[in-house]
Amino acid sequence: MLTNYKEILDKSRRRVLALASDVLTAYELTVAASREGDPEKASEARNLLKDAHNRNSKIDNEIIKTLALFSPEARDLRVVIAYLKITSELTRISDYIRSYAKKVKMQISGEMELSALRDDMNSFLESTRKSLEAAIASIEAESEEKLENLYRKVNVEESKCDDIISILEKNILQQICVNPEDAEDMVEFIKSIRKLERISDRSVNIVKLAYFAQKGGKLKL
Partner 1 sequence: MAKQIIMDIKDFSFRYAGAPKPSLKSINLPVYHNKITAMIGPSGCGKSTLLRALNRIHDLYPGNEYKGEINLLDLQNDTYFNILKLKKENELIRLRQRVGMIFQKPTPFPMSIFDNVAYGLRLAGVKDKTVLEEKVTTALKGSAIWNEVKDRLNDSAMGLSGGQQQRLCIARAVALRPEILLLDEPTSALDPISTGAIEELVSELKKELSIVIVTHNMQQASRLSDYTAFMYLGELIEYNKTDKIFLNPKEKLTEDYVTGRFG
User: Can you tell me the distance from the alpha carbon of 95 to that of 91, in angstroms, rounded to the nearest whole number?
Assistant: 6
- How far is 157 from 160, CA to CA, in rounded Å? 5
Q: Which of 47, 71, 174, 179 binds partner 1 (CB under 8 A)?
A: 71
| Distance, CA of 88 to CA of 82 (rounded, Å) | 10
If the CB atoms of residues 8 and 121 are measured against partner 1, the closer one turns out to be 8
Q: What b/e readout covers 124-151, taking b as 16+ CB neighbours within 10 angstroms?
A: bbebbbbbbbbbbbbbebeeeeebeebb
From the list 23-31, 60-68, 85-93, 175-183, the region that binds partner 1 by CB under 8 A is: 60-68
Minimum CB separation of residue 5 from partner 1 in Å reads 7
Q: Which of 14, 65, 170, 215 binds partner 1 (CB under 8 A)?
A: 65
Q: Residues 129-168: x/- map of binding to partner 1 (CB under 8 A)? A: ----------------------------------------
**Binding residues for partner 1, total number by CB under 8 A:** 11
Residue 17 has a CB neighbour count (10 Å cut-off) of 14
Q: Which stretch binds partner 1 (CB under 8 A): 15-23, 65-73, 111-119, 122-130?
A: 65-73
* One-letter identity of residue 72: P
Cβ proximity to partner 1: between 65 and 191 the closer is 65
64-72, 125-133, 141-149, 158-166 -> range binding partner 1 (CB under 8 A): 64-72
Helix 144-178 and helix 183-215, axial crossing angle in degrees, nearest 10: 170
Side-chain-side CA neighbours of 174 within 13 Å: the count stands at 9
Q: Judged by CB under 8 A, which of 27, 70, 124, 189 binds partner 1?
A: 70
Examine residue 58 and tell whether it contacts partner 1 (CB under 8 A).
no
Q: Are the beta carbons of 87 and 57 closer than 8 angstroms?
A: no
Contact residues for partner 1, defined by CB under 8 A: 1-5, 64-65, 68-71
